[in-house]
Amino acid sequence: MFVLRQCLTLGTKSSVRNFAAATNLVNVKINEDTGVVIMELNKPPVNSLNYELLEAMHRTLVKLENERCSGMILTSSSPNTFSAGLDLLEMYKPTVDKARKFWGMLQNTWIKLYSAPYPTVAAINGHSPAGGCLLAMSCEYRIMVPKKKIGLNETQLGIVAPQWFQDCMKNIIGSRQAEKALIAGTLFSSEEAAKIGLIDELATDKEDLMKKAHDFMDEQLGLPPLARSTVKIGFRKDTLNRLINSREVDTKYFIDFIFQPKVQESLEMYLQALKKK
């Protein structure tokens, strides 16, 4: 299977097609022979998740429902960062309408990604804090390059990881480890993340990362798809339904939380610190 895939991806008769996207915030390529899609986040410098990027991801995920997509590898075009998480500028002094629209699109995108019936792999080629970690955790399998950071570090920023972010982490590393990591807002090194199971495999470098992602995909493509996806959704439905049934409440928490003057102060200081770096 590996040889077949190499021929398909590297061979002269390349059957890889660019997937027409309305923006260049995501680069999407579909291998027409295998049906495997690579979605590359492309919002330099750090793929901070603003409304437009989330909308581009969401639109792609919806489109993939009507394509012959057999699996999806999520990665980034940034040399150093998978995703820096939510775009802090979306939370800093927004209007209520803008904040509501932004949060709704984050929820939409997460629901689509978390419930995708086909196999999903995060090829984590750089740092992946907070919302970046959420994206990675929403995939079924995570592979990461060495010496980068990943985790839900919200507490350290004076904000709180929403319940569904927390649920995703709990589902992967277990309740006790998640509680400790979430209270402290721990950012794990790739190596530490592999030890606690937050990521499934460490890659040696970016080439190895993509090879391992395709290897995982090949294994999954050998399984009966309906049985595979039924088991996947069975494991994920409680977490999904918890958000789906409380989207409005979740949005209200977000709005009430970010409009607190103390939270705005923390965001301002953090943004300044990032700019000064």
Binding residues (CB under 6 A) for ligand LCMDX3IU: these are 45-46, 48, 80-81, 84-89, 127, 129-131, 153-154, 157, 159-160, 162, 253-254, 257-258, 274-275, 277
> Amino acid identity of 151?
G
Catalytic residue among 53, 154, 157, 267: 154
154 an active-site residue? Answer: yes
153 an active-site residue? Answer: yes
135 an active-site residue? Answer: no
C-beta of 140: minimal distance to ligand LCMDX3IU in Å? 21
C-beta of 100: minimal distance to ligand LCMDX3IU in Å? 13
- Tokens coding 164: 């569904």
Report the residue number, 165 or 216, with the smaller CB distance to ligand LCMDX3IU: 165
C-beta of 143: minimal distance to ligand LCMDX3IU in Å? 19
Count of beta carbons in the 10 Å neighbourhood of residue 247: 15
C-beta of 224: minimal distance to ligand LCMDX3IU in Å? 36
Report the residue number, 52 or 218, with the smaller CB distance to ligand LCMDX3IU: 52
> Amino acid identity of 202?
L
Report the residue number, 31 or 83, with the smaller CB distance to ligand LCMDX3IU: 83
For residues 100 and 114, give the distance between their C-alpha atoms in angstroms, rounded to a whole number. 21
- Widest CA span of the chain, in angstroms? 59
86 an active-site residue? Answer: yes
- Phi, psi for residue 177 in degrees, rounded to 5: -65, -40
C-beta of 40: minimal distance to ligand LCMDX3IU in Å? 17
Report the residue number, 30 or 111, with the smaller CB distance to ligand LCMDX3IU: 111
For residues 139 and 271, give the distance between their C-alpha atoms in angstroms, rounded to a whole number. 29
DSSP-derived 3-state class of residue 41: strand
- C-alpha distances (whole Å) from 31 to each of 8, 67, 71 are 8, 11, 10
Which is nearest to 201 in space by CA: 155, 158, 140?
140
Which residues are catalytically annotated?
86, 131, 153-154
